[in-house]
Amino acid sequence: MRFSLARSFAQLAKKAEKGSSSIAVTKEPTKKPLLEIHQLGNAELRESAKRISKVDDSVRTLIKNMLHSMYSAKGIGLAAPQVGIHKQLLVIDLDIENAATPPIVLINPEITEFGASLETYEEGCLSIPGVYLNVIRPSIIKLNYRDEMGRPKKMNADGLLSRCIQHEMDHLNGVLFVDRVMNEDDLNKELTEHGFNKKDVIALT
């Protein structure tokens, strides 16, 4: 009786584990991440990403490799086009110092609703290291996406998470946060200071 009870608990636990299916990777920096992050000026960043039709092990391997690159670069978000892969996939972790918090994986994300209020917040990007500039975006979003097991999900996001999702989703359309910066003087100054070229910005504003 005790044995079988223990076994059924173990089976339940296993089932629950399969259900939650978080992608487990170390948050420690990897010496040589497999995937190199492209920088502003690289044409790969301007290509649109395609929907992922099947979420299989090759996608999950890509997710792990992207997470290693993101954690090694001390970033909180990374989109597949930043590593030259034009698929609608992004990874986010707003708690990179805490090993117990699982990362967020968004596949084929679609924003279904933007809140009416706008917010100004300073953004940075692993593809434009050192550059931090204010960007105005809607503060609240609702979205649909698939998780790393291919299951359809819905999410409401605000604050930093909403900001990060919108920034990463821009990458899927070949848009970079510097394209959205309104203050021309700040933009020129920051880019020049960090060795980037203004001609690589495609102004949206």
Q: Which residues are catalytic?
A: 168
Could you give the CA distance from residue 22 to residue 6 in angstroms, rounded to a whole number?
A: 24
Q: Which is nearer to Ni ion, 7 or 165 (CB)?
A: 165
Could you give the CA distance from residue 181 to residue 71 in angstroms, rounded to a whole number?
A: 26
Which of 40, 49, 104, 125 is close enough to bind Ni ion by CB under 5 A? 125
Q: Which is nearer to Ni ion, 73 or 149 (CB)?
A: 73
181 burial class (0-12, 13-18, 19+ CB within 10 angstroms)? buried
CB 125 → Ni ion: shortest distance, Å? Answer: 3
Could you give the CA distance from residue 154 to residue 112 in angstroms, rounded to a whole number?
A: 10
Q: Is 37 in the site for Ni ion (CB under 5 A)?
A: no
Tell me how crowded residue 113 is: count the other CB atoms within 10 A of its CB: 10
Interior angle at CA 168, CA 162 and CA 96, nearest 5? 75
Q: Which is nearer to Ni ion, 99 or 160 (CB)?
A: 160
For residue 10, the SS3 value is helix
CB 188 → Ni ion: shortest distance, Å? Answer: 20
Q: Which is nearer to Ni ion, 125 or 135 (CB)?
A: 125
CB 98 → Ni ion: shortest distance, Å? Answer: 22
Total chain residues near Ni ion (CB under 5 A): 1
Could you give the CA distance from residue 56 to residue 143 in angstroms, rounded to a whole number?
A: 22
Q: Which stretch binds Ni ion (CB under 5 A): 85-93, 123-131, 147-155, 181-189?
A: 123-131
Q: Which is nearer to Ni ion, 20 or 103 (CB)?
A: 103
| Closest to 69 (Cα-Cα) out of 38, 23, 48 | 38
Distances (CA, A) of 144 to 33, 154, 201: 30, 5, 29
If you compute the radius of gyration of the chain from its CA atoms, what whole number of angstroms results? Answer: 19
CB 190 → Ni ion: shortest distance, Å? Answer: 15
CB 177 → Ni ion: shortest distance, Å? Answer: 6
Site residues for Ni ion per CB under 5 A:
125
